[in-house]
Amino acid sequence: MARIPVAVLGATGTVGQRFIQLLEGHPWFEVAAVTGSTRSAGRTYAEATRWVLDRPMPAAVRDMTILGEDADLTTPLVFSALPSKTAGDLESRLAAAGHVVCTNAGDHRMDPDVPLLIPEVNPDHLDLIDVQRRRRGWSGAIVANPNCTATPVTMTLRPLLDQFGIERVMAVSMQALSGAGYPGVPSYDAIDNVVPYIGGSEEEKLETEPQKMLGMLGDDTVIAAGFVTTAHCNRVPVLEGHLVCLSIAFTQRPEHAALDAALRHFRAAPQELQLPSAPAMPLVLRDEVDRPQPRRDRDAGNGMSTVIGRIRTCAVFDYKLTVLGHNTIRGAAGGSLLNAELMYARGLLT
């Protein structure tokens, strides 16, 4: 079977590099084009890219010539690793021109007719594509994946909301350095330190994106889930893996065993469809008292699982627990890729 050619926008940055890495040897998709800034365009990928990942650059892209960001693309599927703010207009133009754009950028996430998608959480939101096309007159489409911290939090909340209802969430994150891109956080700020702030309205995203994803699909839009979240976001000296402490007030307080079972047995569309990048277990529960830990647990399910631990009673809300997600795999490029795989399996890429 011929693989679908794909383009990666912003392919030289850290998220772009993750796309390139995750697409290496992919059974359905094949990198056919890469774009970059004016500085990079015209050079080969190997020349223009300061490759920062620990595994080597895939051979297949080394000699690919980088296109300018506004180049005419011929691939039906486009992955966008563009930075927010510059991504929005370009992605719209590509969707208007018939491309399906799976984007990691924040610009369109909260557009009412754009699916903000985690395949395990809200696969039905893909129906918004019809609304989007009708309203905007596009033949293509934009599908966004959420913020890297919102991702593991929302995956955790999905079965809990369904079974017990959720009223209030308190979330305090300890986020990895890679979330700031490259060069990102100066080492002089990072070592022996924590920075209790993350720019780009990180806390607001964590307070609003989960509600959209966990919302009900109405006629033409999503009715956001009704719980309230407060977020504190911190940068810690960790390379990869965002850790989040959660306290949750439920509509109906479950027994501990029921809470545990709801998380442990959670499976969803990607597992049923056996999507290539889907982890066998979307939620991995660790029983040890000191897990999850970013370095030891971020690669669970090849970086596509959310790892959960320390489930215990909360003196203020009902339960507290700790969740971990790999921020540049499931929380960025891997999330977008899984979205595209779901669309492919649903026949939306043909």
Residues taking part in catalysis:
148, 242
CA–CA separation, 284 vs 200, rounded Å? 29
Of positions 83, 310, 311, 348, contacts its own copies by CB under 8 A: 310
CA–CA separation, 119 vs 135, rounded Å? 24
Identify which of residues 30 and 207 has a Cβ nearer to its own copies in the complex. 207
In 3-state terms, what secondary structure has residue 3? coil
The interface region with its own copies, picked from 91-99, 170-178, 216-224, 339-347 by CB under 8 A, is 170-178
Q: Smallest distance, Å, CB 271 to its own copies? A: 20
Q: Going by C-beta distance under 8 Å and a sequence separation of 6 or more, which residues neighbour residue 153?
A: 169, 171, 206, 210, 244, 246, 323
Should residue 295 be labelled a site residue for its own copies when binding is judged by CB under 8 A? yes
Of positions 271, 299, 311, 346, contacts its own copies by CB under 8 A: 299
Should residue 192 be labelled a site residue for its own copies when binding is judged by CB under 8 A? yes
Should residue 236 be labelled a site residue for its own copies when binding is judged by CB under 8 A? yes
CA–CA separation, 196 vs 234, rounded Å? 4
Are 100 and 27 a contacting pair, CB within 8 Å? no
Report CA 248 to chain centroid distance, whole Å.
Answer: 22
Are 101 and 78 a contacting pair, CB within 8 Å? yes
Identify which of residues 97 and 194 has a Cβ nearer to its own copies in the complex. 194
Should residue 58 be labelled a site residue for its own copies when binding is judged by CB under 8 A? no
Should residue 259 be labelled a site residue for its own copies when binding is judged by CB under 8 A? no
Q: Smallest distance, Å, CB 142 to its own copies? A: 28
Of positions 162, 183, 216, 274, contacts its own copies by CB under 8 A: 183
Length of the chain in terms of residues written: 350
Amino acid letter at 62? R
Q: How many CB atoms lie within 10 A of CB 39?
A: 10
Identify which of residues 28 and 319 has a Cβ nearer to its own copies in the complex. 319
Identify which of residues 135 and 295 has a Cβ nearer to its own copies in the complex. 295
Should residue 280 be labelled a site residue for its own copies when binding is judged by CB under 8 A? no
Of positions 230, 251, 252, 274, contacts its own copies by CB under 8 A: 230
Q: Going by C-beta distance under 8 Å and a sequence separation of 6 or more, which residues neighbour residue 211?
A: 224, 225, 226, 227, 229
| Residue from 72, 115, 77, 19 nearest 350 by CA | 77
Identify which of residues 249 and 349 has a Cβ nearer to its own copies in the complex. 249
Task: Please give the residue ranges that form the binding site for its own copies (CB under 8 A).
Answer: 14, 52, 54-55, 168-170, 172, 174, 177-178, 182-197, 207, 228-230, 232, 234, 236-239, 243, 245, 247, 289-296, 299, 309-310, 314-317, 320, 322
